[in-house]
Structure 1
Amino acid sequence: MAHTFPELVIGGVLLAPFVTYLAITLAVVMVLRPLLHVVGFAKLFSHAPVAELSLFVTVLGMLMLLF
């Protein structure tokens, strides 16, 4: 049995589920950023933007695996 992916329809245009996952991931990371700033996440890494990018990719991967 094949898994059907729900597509997002905006103005009659079908968008791939990946676009939905990207939007959800962006929202999750934007909520996490202030919390990570309070905790001092950026001070743990020599290049903080790369660490935030890896966090974004990790959250995106988890969403894709869960849904």
Structure 2
Amino acid sequence: MAHTFPELIIGGVLVAPFVTYLMTALVVVIVLRPLLHFVGFEKMFSNASVAELSLYVAILSLLVLLF
């Protein structure tokens, strides 16, 4: 049984599903940023940028695994 991946078509150009996952993960992280700032996410880590990048990668990997 082959798994079919849903391609996104933008202006007649097929976009790979991974690009869709990248954009979705970016939107999720952007939406979560005010909540992370409210709970003091940047104070919990010595390098908040790396921690936020790790959160992005974790969300991206969850999207890839689920869809």
TM-score by length of 1: 0.98
Match of 1:53 in 2: 53
Instruction: Give the letter aligned to residue 62 of structure 2.
Output: M
| Identical columns (%) | 73
Match of 1:40 in 2: 40
The separation in 2 between residues aligned to 1:40 and 1:4, in whole angstroms, is 41
Runs of 4+ in structure 1 deviating by more than 4 angstroms, as ranges, are none
- Unaligned segments of structure 2, at least 5 residues: none
- Unaligned segments of structure 1, at least 5 residues: none
The separation in 1 between residues aligned to 2:48 and 2:27, in whole angstroms, is 19
* Number of equivalences: 67
